[in-house]
Chain A
Amino acid sequence: MTASLKFAPSHEWVQVNGDGTVTVGISEHAQELLGDVVFVELPEIGQEVTAGTEFSLVESVKAASDIYAPVSGEVVEVNETLDEAPETINESPLDTGWIAKIKLSNESDLDNLMDEAAYKETLD
């Protein structure tokens, strides 16, 4: 599953769902940096987000970190399990720890993202 993920330099991942929407979360590297997540501020359904601007926020025991929208579009779904179990982000950042689904307003936003190999290179 992770093979099809695309990454933003600010450590978010995107999975293309094939129906005009993408699922967004944060990378394994990002959750490691954050440490134990205690709170996730989810975006609102219906909210318009702009690529490269903050749209969610994750708080760990250490600090609060903004999460940036990797693409522009409308938030169509949020992962409500994070309200009660924010630690899911640590346990499964690439899968059940997803944050939101966004309906793309501009398919070409995806071209600005990296594949997994290119993203991993930026971490070295």
Chain B
Amino acid sequence: MSEQLNKTPLYDLHLELGGKMVPFAGFEMPVQYPLGVKNEHIHTREKAGLFDVSHMGQVLLKGEGAAAMLEKLVPVDIIDLPVGKQRYALFTNEEGGIMDDLMVANYGDYLYVVVNAACKYQDIGHMTENLEDGVELEVLDDRALVALQGPAAADVMKRFAPETADMVFMDTRRISVEGIDCFVSRSGYTGEDGFEISIPSADAAKLCKMFLDQPEVEAIGLGARDSLRLESGLCLYGHDLDTTTTPIEGSLIWAISKIRRADGERAGGFPGADKILEQIATKEFDTKRVGLLGSSRAPVREGTELVNAEGEVIGKVTSGSFGPTIGAPVSMAYVKKAYSTLETEVFALVRGKQLPMTVSRMPFIEQRYYRG
């Protein structure tokens, strides 16, 4: 009953580079290259890393009503999203839970949407069911998606596409990179400056090899992608967020646009709005997502129970690892509201021991987005 795994347009390149391939969200993906997870992580923070994220879903929504239509599915201002800008959004369900998190970019004539690999078919179905007259959905299944991340990413990108130099964080442009038609955004999921680049499948390996030929750039696998996003306090859907967590519980209130809140001009009008707006107003909810920093060296991983000084269970870790840059174990967890204040000490039950951890501000390390 082995499931047939998909391959991204960069599969052969991964093998050529010595990538160790593992199944992930229905794809064969490189978890690491010969450099190793820790060094790949550090390299990305110091120079530049190239990530294959082609397993994610890329979708266009076309037609005049596209923004108004998408806005009905997310608690985010899509209608006023300026041309050339990208925004983080959440698909919510009727209970106020999170169906997926996504990126939405306004390219003028259409919206360009990127959704998580594991939720791709669900999200495409959800948008298709909610299509309105005059709005058309196109799945871009003939495109690879890569991320070039790190302090040297901008210099590298400038060599191939000089017009990217004046882009700032969350700017998006459709530009020709070495003659190849790309969707480029200045964004990523590592906490570093960088770009996400959508490339026609046929040209993807060629362009990636050109990036990798640059002295600053190394190929980076999913292992380092995970520790990089974790140190930067960024959620992994299906772990740190799911259909049972609301944006408030998930500490994502910042992602809910002012205009969609109770006193906003376009208040509500998204699935689960009653519950979500009520939670914002009353601040009544049971658990909250927090960052935890360990004081021993032992990583505290997903599923680990958290207790208070009296030994009562007060939460659970949703993702955790050792942060190579911060040099300490970092975790995300849901804890009872009373324990969600910064500097609160909690204890992780690891192999029969109680390891002290401190509720800490996220991101754990400073984000270095380029804001001009």
Contact = CB atoms under 8 A, between A and B. Distances in A.
A61 interface: yes
Interface string A71-92: 0000000000001001100000
A85 B301 CA distance: 20
A62 B32 CA distance: 10
B43 to A, nearest CB: 13
A35 B222 CA distance: 14
Interface stretch (A10-18, A21-29, A36-44, A103-111): A36-44
B38 A57 contact: no
Contacts of B31: 62
Contacts of A116: none
A59 B299 contact: yes
A41 B351 contact: yes
B321 interface: yes
Interface residues of B, number: 17
Interface residues of A, number: 13
B223 A62 contact: yes
Contact of A39 (B36, B322, B324): B322
A59 B299 CA distance: 8
B227 interface: yes
B209 interface: no
A77 to B, nearest CB: 20
B210 interface: no
A34 to B, nearest CB: 11
Contacts of B99: none
A87 B329 CA distance: 15
Nearest to B298: A39
B297 A38 contact: yes
Interface string B281-324: 00000000000000001110100000000000000000001101
Interface of A: 35-36, 38-39, 41, 57, 59, 61-62, 64, 83, 86-87
Interface of B: 31-32, 36-39, 223, 227, 297-299, 301, 321-322, 324, 329, 351
9 contacts: A35-B36, A36-B38, A36-B39, A38-B299, A39-B297, A39-B299, A59-B298, A61-B227, A61-B324
